[in-house]
Structure 1
Amino acid sequence: MSTGSGTKRHIFITGGASGIGRAVAIYFAARGWFITVTDVNATGLEETLALIEGDAKHSHQLDVRDRDAWDVALNSANHAAGGRIDVMFNNAGIGTGGAIAQLEKAEIDACLDINLRGVLYGAQAVYPYLQKTAPSSALVNTASAAGITGGSGMSVYSATKFAVRGIAESLDAEWAPDGIKVSSICPSFIETPLLDGTGHRGENEQIRNRVLEAGLEITPVEEVAKTVWDAVHGDDVHYLVGKTAKRINFAKRWMPGRVRKQQRDASSLLGGN
């Protein structure tokens, strides 16, 4: 669905049906941008569009695992926005948790395909569009604090998020001659519906309860949206979101042995694998 076109700067958002993607869409729209939101959830996309005032908005149902679908979605968005895409927010992702020995193949494949393959496909597909709007264009990828340090039961998810940070660093160098900015954002625990899930297979307790019991911060989703804005207009490669992510990054850099011990102790308390 599209409801307008023009010469406004244009951000293409994956995972835009809820959570971080929706918050970023609202944030950029409020600052005069044309918004394209994509997701596999068509109902959620319509709900996101309804929250954005005006007609400078467009939605397209997209499964980021489908490389050919990327070309269709980007072409549609480019046309709707008057022939330009200035920013890609590669945000679509899923969580998966549990002991590696207990994860099913389908769970591993889905996490790798959406969180990693989807990011690579998106970067590859959007490159010619960002070339045209450079040097003010940007690719922003959603990583995670789980991409700074791994923890028990997080091997697959952490692998994808470490990879997303590596992709940002590689493309920052590769696309520098084109004038395209590339970065990753690393949120910790963000106030989104994902906190209402369990995170780990075989567990019934919500992530939200475990985070609060541990005394950790839950960051408002609007802070992530502001960080994406800062990434588009700044010059860093990695952006940390929330106090927890910043503490983890500091500890991993300066006290790696302590972080390792904490992760092992936490695993023991949870019963290990």
Structure 2
Amino acid sequence: MSEQRAIFVSGGASGIGRAIAELFAARGWFVGLGDIDSAGMAALAAMLPAGRVSTHQLDVRDRGAWERALAEFIAAAGRLDVLANNAGIPLGGALADNSPEEITRCLDINLKGALFGAQAAFPHLVHSAPGSCLLNTASAAGIWGTAGASVYSATKFGVRALTESLDGEWAEHGIAVRSLMPAFIDTPLLDHAPNVTSNERIRQRVLDAGLEITPVSDVAEAAWAAVHGERLHTPVGKTARRLAFASRWMPARLRRMSRASARPMGR
């Protein structure tokens, strides 16, 4: 087995995945990028150290695609130490306004994709344990349900539950399981409309609400700390940390604030 540590990042062509890939590559790791965006992966790969990156076409909704991508990655890297189970999409708006197609796509990518990734990575992480890690990208929306983003929140609560479940299930194998819980991160996802009925960008809604947008580099550093640390869930950004504190110590107050400020994203 190769001695160089290796990380595979789903959704690695942009946003949080790209930032994680850049940071781990800069610190000497072999990096695999998995994404449906071939052009984005190629552009990023050209910027990373030669001989320490591979790219893999991956639709996380396809269990077979996970098997193929990870097999290709192992052939290139020789091992898998960390799976950054990161691919995801946003969905906002009142539940009544979300189409069945939008709901299905969000569930399939954010939750089913994370389950398939964990399942496919398991034998490879066992092989490199102890010291291997499953790193799931959850969200501050998995700390407290977000009004106007019920489907997205449900998927991220699911990712949180997956993390907690596998933390227990995989402990005997020496595999660490961790999650990141970022709030609003400065990535291209903020420039999407929350759903098909809205022309307003998520970024503008965040700014109008007076919330901060956290640099994506902060998430990459949090990913590094999570892989090398003991903390199960890592909130990233002031909003996420405040939400985690309030959900634990002031849940009734948080509920009142959530109901008072609720304006479904996309309206």
Q: Same fold (TM over 0.5)?
A: yes
Once residues 129 and 249 of structure 1 are traced to their aligned partners in structure 2, the CA distance between those partners, rounded to angstroms, is: 32
1:58 matched residue in structure 2: 54
Question: Displacement of 1:208 after TM fit?
Answer: 1.5
- Please give the alpha-carbon distance, in whole angstroms, between the structure 1 residues aligned to 2:146 and 2:153: 8
Unaligned runs of 5+ in 2: none
Q: Which amino acid aligns with 2:48?
A: I
Q: For the residues of structure 1 that align with 2:12 and 2:214, how far apart are their CA atoms?
A: 19
* Partners of 2:16 and 2:119 in 1: CA distance: 22
Residue 250 of structure 1 is matched in structure 2 by 245
Contact 2:2–2:79 under 8 Å retained in 1: no
Cα distance, 1:201 vs. partner? 4.3
14-23 vs 210-219, greater mean Cα deviation: 210-219
Match of 1:194 among 189, 198, 204: 189
Shift >3 Å, 4+ stretches: 269-273
Does the Cα contact within 8 Å between 2:194 and 2:265 map onto a contact in 1? no
Shift of 1:213: 2.2
Unaligned stretches of 5+ residues in structure 1? none
Cα distance, 1:53 vs structure 2: 2.2
More moved, 129-138 vs 200-209: 200-209
**Deviation of the 1:270 alpha carbon:** 5.8
Q: How does 1:227-266 map to 2 (within 5 A)?
A: 227-266=222-261
Distance across 2 between alignment mates of 1:253 and 1:46: 43
| Residues in 2 aligned to 1:25 and 1:200: alpha-carbon distance in whole angstroms | 28
1:124-203 superposed matches below 5 A: 124-203=119-198
Does structure 2 conserve the Cα–Cα contact (< 8 Å) formed by 1:98 and 1:201?
no
For residue 21 of structure 1, what is the amino acid of its counterpart? Answer: G
The residue type equivalent to 1:71 in the other structure is E
Deviation for aligned residue 1:179: 0.5
Separation in structure 1 between the aligned mates of residue 255 and residue 169 of structure 2, nearest angstrom:
33
Residue in 2 that maps onto 1:24 = 20
Report how many residues are paired. Answer: 267
Give the C-alpha shift of residue 203 in structure 1: 2.5
Which deviations, in whole Å up to 9, do the C-alpha atoms of 1:100-149 show, x marking residues without a partner? 11211111110111100110101111000000110010000000000011
Aligned to 2:95: 100
How much does 1:200 deviate?
4.1
Shift of 1:198: 2.3
- 1:73 is aligned to 69
Matches within 5 A, 1:42-57: 42-57=38-53
Distance 1:127 1:93, change over 3 A: same
TM-score (norm 1): 0.94
Q: What is the percentage of aligned positions where both structures have the same residue?
A: 55
| Mapped pair 1:40 → 2:40 | no
Rounded Cα–Cα distance in structure 1 between residues aligned with 2:140 and 2:39: 29
Secondary structure of the corresponding residue to residue 97 of structure 2: coil
Deviation by residue 1:75-119 (Cα, 9 ceiling, x = unmatched): 0000001x2100000000011111111211111110111100110
C-alpha change, 1:271 and 1:134, in structure 2 (3 Å) is closer
Distance in 2 between the 1:228 and 1:117 partners?
22
Query: Residue type of the partner of 1:66?
Result: D
CA contact (8 A) 2:36 2:58 kept: yes
Q: Does the 8 Å CA contact 1:187/1:224 hold for their aligned counterparts?
A: yes
Cα distance in 2 for partners of 1:6, 1:29 equals 16
Tell me which amino acid in the other structure corresponds to 1:146.
A
CA shift for structure 1 position 226 = 0.6
Structure 1 residue 182: Cα displacement = 0.1
Distance 1:72 1:104 in 2: 32
Residue 13 (structure 1) aligned to one of 9, 16, 24: 9
Q: TM-score, normalised on structure 2?
A: 0.96
Q: 1:176 to 1:270 in 2, by over 3 A?
A: closer
